[in-house]
Amino acid sequence: SLRDRSHRTQVHTHTHTHTHTHTHTASSGPHIQLLTVCVCVDYRLNPVLRKACKADIPKFCQSILNKATADSELEGQVISCLKLKYADQRLSSDCEDQIRVILQESALDYRLDPQLQLHCTQEISRLCPEEAAAQEQTGQVEECLKVNLLKIKQEGCKKEVLNMLKESKADIFVDPVLHTACALDIKHHCAAIPPGRGRQMSCLMEALQDKRVRLQPECKKRLQDRIDMWSYAAKAAPAEGFSDLAAQVLTSPSKNYILTVIGTGVALLFLMGLLCGRFTKRVTQELKDRFRTMSVCRTL
């Protein structure tokens, strides 16, 4: 039960949440793996995360808390909720740091993502059996699901994979396959760009669009694949409101182009308003002059 496991998990939680390296779960031993899975299943077993996200959880995930009971497991729902807000760049800095670590580790091993396991077990067995059977998990199952996105039949699983794409758009470290393929290019072209909030991803996209820059072939291929995936994801899961739309634009690989088009449109509207205002003022003045002339003629 939740209470029985709480004290056992807290010992591991402290080191787990402060470790910022990509440790492979398969080589960490079964006990550590079990504890890590427990923490990912229920945020209440992670005191560091609870403290860092104490304002964010009720702010963004209250509907999930309302349905939960004291002894029930949340099946990773709160952490999944926080992951999406991380992708939308809405979390506080402390909470963002903790969620980044969880995202990076679950991106390497699908078993650390309870919602993905819950909704995609059948699809993984059908589409990615070899990747799932591998002893060492390095993100190959997640990559397989992304590549086979159009073949996924279950809507719940498709939604989880779309969420993964959204998360990786905000932080390239959450996409281990892409990060490995583009590590040299990041070092060469984006060394001065801090990670997170889609900054390094935007840097790579700008390099991809720049004809003077030659990216590594594998990096270029993976980036093109991601653009196609993001394009499909944007159509399949459109923005639900203005804040979501703004987040989509700011993390888009075509951010500069979109902002230029929006800026040009606003400028044109402003100029049209200015010209129409002057024209209306002139017509109004002419009508006033005519009215005065008619009044004078009648008086005479």
Long-range contacts of 9-12 (CB under 8 A, 24+ apart): 9/35, 9/38, 9/39, 9/45, 9/46, 10/45, 10/47, 12/36, 12/39
* pLDDT tens string 85-132: 998 889 999 999 999 999 999 999 999 999 999 999 999 999 999 999
Q: Which residues have CB under 8 Å from 243's CB, separation 6+?
A: 88, 90
- The number of beta carbons lying within 10 Å of the beta carbon of residue 159 is 16
Radius of gyration of the chain, Cα coordinates, nearest whole angstrom: 26
Structure tokens given for 55: 């304002």
Give CA–CA dist 295/300, Å, rounded.
9
Per-residue pLDDT of 223-280, as tens digits, reads 999 999 988 888 876 544 434 434 444 445 555 555 566 667 666 776 776 666 665 6
pLDDT, tens digit (0-9, with 9 covering 90-100), for 33-83:
444 555 566 788 889 999 999 999 999 999 998 887 765 666 789 999 999
